[in-house]
Amino acid sequence: MTHVRVESVELDDGIPMLYRDFGTHVRLAHDPLQIDEAAALALLCVRVPRLIGNLAVERLSV
């Protein structure tokens, strides 16, 4: 199980999300004005296929 640490942050226009894969966990930042959390997680799974069916979401407050 890979932990995905999700943050809602303001990002530049045209950059709806950023992620960093640390192997044991992934850190995901998304701009809720550009993309919602569900879409950001779906896009993350497209980019990091090993997460499909194998992730636990942790929401971080900023």
> pLDDT tens digits, residue range 14-51?
999 999 999 999 999 999 999 999 999 999 999 999 99
- The tokens for 61 are 């407050």
- How far apart CA 33 and CA 23 sit, in angstroms, is 28
- How far apart CA 45 and CA 24 sit, in angstroms, is 15
Q: What is the pLDDT of residues 3-17, one digit of tens each?
A: 999 999 999 999 999
Domains of the chain, by residue range, sit at 2-59
Q: What's the pTM?
A: 0.92
- How far apart CA 8 and CA 61 sit, in angstroms, is 8
